[in-house]
Amino acid sequence: MLNTRVLSRGKYEQPVTLTLCTIGLSARLYFGLSLIEVLVTLSLTSLLLGLSLPSMKELQDSASTAVALQHLSKALESAKISAISSGETVTFCGSENTLDCQGSWSEGLLSFIDRNQNQRIDASDQILNWQSMRDIQGSIRWRAFGYRQYLLLDPRGMMETQNGSFTYCTHNAPASPAAKLVVNRTARSRMLRDLDPKDHCG
């Protein structure tokens, strides 16, 4: 403890006591944080960031799933409307080159009037729509009885082939839920979310 005497504004002196603790606090305020405090702060920040990263990945995967299923649903609905309005059967399939159906649903969605039913774009055929799917963060598979990798919609908007489902798996499939777009014979679809990837993405 250090004692000193200072002259006040009055006519008498008052003792002022300065402790080592007071001096140490002033020194810390003057020179900033200590090395230990900086390290502790950085450690806590890193820990919090590490805990938040899985949540961010889950949000990204969920958004990617929603976008992929919405693209599928809208493209299928567009093909159905085209079949009804044109009065002809419309083929809906996965295609990466807009020329034929290869089952590449993760590359693009093609709908066209296939008048000779060979799943290729010929001179007599009419392309209706092609939707790119290359921006999605996962893969898409169509499964149905008979394993046909295309859908046929007649002039009534009904499925000429069997009903089935699209399965969507993110690239982070072991850790992220799968999803399905179930399609019935009337070409109506419904989404199923939060499915176990072990059962659907194997």
Report residue 22 as tokens. Answer: 């007071």
pLDDT top residue among 200 and 74? 74
pLDDT of residue 53: 55
Q: Are residues 65 and 164 in the same domain?
A: yes
For 102, residues 6+ apart whose C-beta sits below 8 A from its C-beta are: 94, 95, 96, 149
| Strand ranges inside the chain, DSSP E | 2-7, 13-18, 90-94, 108-113, 126-132, 138-144, 150-153, 164-170, 178-183, 189-195
Q: Are residues 95 and 188 in the same domain?
A: yes
pLDDT top residue among 36 and 199? 199
Q: Is 132 within the bounds of a domain?
A: yes
Q: Is 40 within the bounds of a domain?
A: no
Task: Please state the domain count of the chain.
Answer: 2
Q: Are residues 143 and 189 in the same domain?
A: yes
Q: Are residues 113 and 166 in the same domain?
A: yes
Q: Are residues 86 and 13 in the same domain?
A: no
Q: Are residues 19 and 105 in the same domain?
A: no
Read off the pLDDT of residues 78-95 as tens digits, 9 standing for 90 and up: 999 999 999 999 999 999
pLDDT of residue 43: 77
**pTM here?**
0.71
3-class DSSP state of 74: helix
What's 33-62 look like in SS3? CCHHHHHHHHHHHHHHHHHHHHHHHHHHHH
Q: Which domain holds residue 109?
A: 60-200
Q: Is 55 within the bounds of a domain?
A: no
Q: Are residues 10 and 105 in the same domain?
A: no
Q: Are residues 20 and 71 in the same domain?
A: no
Cα separation, 97 vs 164, in Å, equals 24
Q: Is 18 within the bounds of a domain?
A: yes
Mean pLDDT of 43-64: 71
pLDDT of residue 102: 85
3-class DSSP state of 29: helix
- Whether pLDDT at 193 is above 60: yes
Q: Is 39 within the bounds of a domain?
A: no
- What is the domain-level CATH number for residue 122? 3.55.40.10
Q: Is 163 within the bounds of a domain?
A: yes
pLDDT of residue 104: 87
